[in-house]
């Protein structure tokens, strides 16, 4: 069970997925920015919205993926999808 302890550790998750900020729904900033620009917002307005929503909307990539992996029946298959 030591391997599972490793893949579910914060240290492993940070190293594997990194600390890039993403939406709690799994969205990436680049996608959010594109949708904002398509809606007529400026890049500065989009960035401001992203930062304002930081606590409610965003999460570190490692936290998001670790949460998703915990919900999966087969954690190793989730990791495999991320390679």
pLDDT digits (tens, 9 = 90+) for 23-62: 888 888 888 889 889 999 998 888 777 776 656 677 889 9
The three-state (H, E, C) secondary structure of the chain, written as one string: CHHHHHHCCHHHHHHHHCCCEEECCCCEHHHHHHHHHHCCCCHHHHHHHHHHCHHHHEEEHHHHHHHHHHHCCCHHHHHHHCC
In terms of residues, how long is the chain? 83
pTM listed for this prediction: 0.71
* Sign of torsion over alpha carbons 21, 28, 53, 40: positive
Q: Give residue 6's pLDDT band: very low, low, confident or very high (50, 70, 90).
A: very high
Q: How do the domains of the chain map onto residue ranges?
A: 2-81
Condensed to tens digits (0 to 9), the pLDDT of residues 72-83 reads 999 999 999 998
d(CA 49, CA 64): 20
Q: Is pLDDT larger for residue 1 or for residue 3?
A: 3
């Amino acid at each position: 069970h030591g391997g599972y302890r490793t893949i579910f550790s914060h240290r492993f998750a940070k190293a594997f997925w990194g600390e890039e900020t993403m939406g709690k729904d799994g969205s990436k900033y680049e996608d959010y920015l594109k949708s904002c620009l398509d809606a007529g917002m400026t890049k500065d307005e989009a960035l401001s919205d992203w930062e304002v929503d930081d606590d409610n909307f965003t999460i570190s990539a490692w936290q998001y993926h670790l949460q998703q992996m915990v919900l999966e029946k087969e954690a190793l298959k989730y990791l495999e999808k991320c390679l």
